């Protein structure tokens, strides 16, 4: 039965550090919750969230309806944002999604993830060596952000010297994609970032067409299947998506994961003593407080869910981290256990939209967490009051100040 006393408000700063008690109440008392603040449904049970990710009754194509309902004057000022983000495969339905994903998968499959281990390990060592010379560090700024950003830039053939540009564009796009609540000019900022990013990749794509290289941009240009190749805008959009999503999720996987380990010292010691646990540690970090706050969907076919009528066009926010602590699926869901088996979390989504970059994110997370535990078994938080991103979709810290004690 609907409990009017529960109020889901993404602007509630007090709930950001620990939204899980609220998720628990929603899951048990009002699992299909109408949020007047968001103008959409909030789903919190594992079964419902997984279904939202896989059913054709809900669509990921949430941006085209959004842009369509804007006044013409505003819509015309957001041209690049609308033009390229609506081409991102994560926002497309079949048959376009099927076609574009197949071609992107072909380009991605040309690079064996395991073959990247030496390069990723070198980037990790370089970043930690720099941290080694500091008494204190911001783990997000100094490690969790530059590691996956550098890896995906290398794959795409984007010069490492452009790391600052990449961060600026990504931060501005994240305000829009992540559903920031308290940034009044987020649309204009995201539009400018999309324009600059598209111009950057248009130049790079043109250059690669003239002079093919051994990078992912060249693979995207050349990849084809029975439905043909990606057109120029689709290649540019795919590059933008890979650059953005290729580091955003992994940055927050590492940041949230290190925070969980620092707050559960026994688990950190277990990882240090047995680096072979790194893979299962990554899975538990993804489950316990993962980088995906919510999957946003639009109801495509009117239907009932747990007694509530979801009408066509309604917005739905399937809360991934709430689902990943559903006691119906995970025994002792609030316990952080890096040896948890089985661990069927849905941090990377499910079904046709399962994250293409999941193998790379898992590998980066595994190598990063194992090396941090080895080098810094006595690392500790520099302070407890941590700042979280203003985002409903993206779950992550803006910074993670740590003290790099070297002795266990």
Q: pLDDT value at position 180?
A: 67
- Of the pLDDT bands very low, low, confident and very high (cuts 50, 70, 90), residue 406 is low
What mean pLDDT is predicted for residues 21-50? 96
Whole-Å CA distances, 226 to 103, 137, 223, 231, 233: 10, 50, 11, 14, 19
Q: What backbone phi and psi angles, to 5 degrees, belong to 134?
A: -115, 145
Q: What CA–CA distance (Å, rounded) separates 396 from 205?
A: 31
pLDDT of 169: 95
360: which residues sit within 8 A by CB, 6+ positions away? 113, 116, 151, 152, 246, 250
Whole-angstrom distance between the N-terminal and C-terminal Cα of the chain? 50
| CA proximity to 243, closest of 293, 193, 189, 186 | 193
Give me the mean pLDDT over the 303-307 stretch: 97
What's the confidence (pLDDT) of residue 184? Answer: 78
CB 400 within 8 A of CB 138: yes
Cα-Cα-Cα-Cα dihedral of 169, 177, 91, 43, to 10°? 150
Please give the sequence-ordered ranges of beta strands (E in DSSP) within 25-170, or none if there are none.
32-35, 40-43, 58-59, 136-138
For 185-205, the pLDDT digits (tens) are 889 999 999 999 999 999 999
CA 256 to chain centre: 12
What would the mean pLDDT of 91-108 be, rounded to a whole number? 91
- Average pLDDT (348-353) is 94
Domains and CATH numbers, the chain: 13-403 (1.10.630.10)
pLDDT tens digits, residue range 375-401? 999 999 999 999 999 888 999 999 999
pLDDT at 408: 46
> pLDDT by residue (tens digit) across 71-82?
988 888 999 999
Cis peptide before 342 (omega within 30 of 0): yes
What does the mean pLDDT of the chain come to? 93
Average pLDDT score over residue span 315-338? 98
> What is the reported pLDDT for 112?
76
User: Is 190:218 a contact under the CB 8 Å cutoff?
Assistant: no
Higher pLDDT, 303 or 406: 303
Kindly indicate the confidence band of residue 1, based on its pLDDT and cuts at 50, 70 and 90: very low
Confidence tier at 3 by pLDDT (50, 70, 90): very low
pLDDT digits (tens, 9 = 90+) for 137-181: 999 999 999 999 999 999 999 999 999 999 999 989 988 888 766
């Amino acid at each position: 039965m609907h409990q009017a006393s529960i109020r889901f408000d993404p602007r509630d700063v007090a709930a950001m550090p620990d939204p899980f008690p609220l998720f628990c109440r929603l899951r048990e008392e009002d699992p299909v919750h109408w949020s007047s603040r968001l103008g959409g449904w909030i789903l919190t049970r594992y079964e419902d969230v997984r279904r939202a990710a896989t059913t054709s009754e809900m669509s990921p194509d949430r941006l085209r309806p959004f842009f369509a309902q804007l006044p013409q004057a505003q819509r015309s000022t957001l041209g690049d944002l609308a033009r390229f983000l609506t081409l991102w495969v994560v926002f497309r339905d079949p048959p376009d999604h099927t076609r574009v994903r197949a071609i992107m998968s072909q380009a991605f499959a040309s690079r064996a993830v395991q073959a990247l281990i030496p390069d990723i390990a070198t980037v990790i060592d370089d970043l930690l060596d720099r941290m080694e010379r500091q008494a204190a560090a911001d783990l997000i700024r100094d490690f969790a952000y530059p590691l996956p950003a550098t890896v995906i830039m290398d794959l795409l053939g984007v010069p490492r010297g452009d790391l600052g540009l990449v961060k600026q564009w990504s931060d501005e796009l994240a305000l829009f994609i992540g559903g920031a609540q308290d940034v009044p000019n987020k649309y204009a900022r995201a539009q400018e970032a999309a324009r600059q990013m598209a111009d950057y990749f248009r130049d790079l794509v043109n250059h690669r067409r003239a002079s093919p290289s051994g990078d992912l941009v060249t693979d995207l240009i050349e990849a084809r299947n029975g439905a043909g190749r990606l057109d120029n805008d689709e290649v540019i959009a795919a590059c933008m998506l890979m650059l953005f999503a290729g580091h955003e999720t992994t940055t927050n996987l590492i940041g949230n994961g290190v925070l969980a380990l620092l707050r559960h010292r026994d688990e950190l010691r277990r990882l240090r003593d047995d680096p072979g646990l790194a893979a299962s540690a990554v899975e538990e970090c993804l489950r316990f407080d993962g980088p995906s706050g919510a999957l946003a969907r639009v109801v495509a076919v009117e239907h009932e869910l747990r007694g509530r009528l979801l009408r066509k066009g309604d917005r739905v926010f399937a809360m991934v981290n709430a689902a990943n602590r559903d006691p119906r699926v995970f025994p002792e869901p609030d316990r952080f256990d890096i040896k948890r088996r089985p661990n069927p979390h849905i941090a990377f989504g499910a079904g046709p939209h399962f994250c293409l970059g999941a193998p790379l994110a898992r590998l980066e997370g595994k190598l990063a967490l194992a090396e941090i535990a080895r080098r810094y078994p006595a690392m500790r938080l520099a302070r407890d009051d941590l700042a979280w991103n203003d985002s409903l979709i993206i779950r992550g810290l803006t910074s993670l100040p740590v003290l790099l004690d070297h002795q266990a």
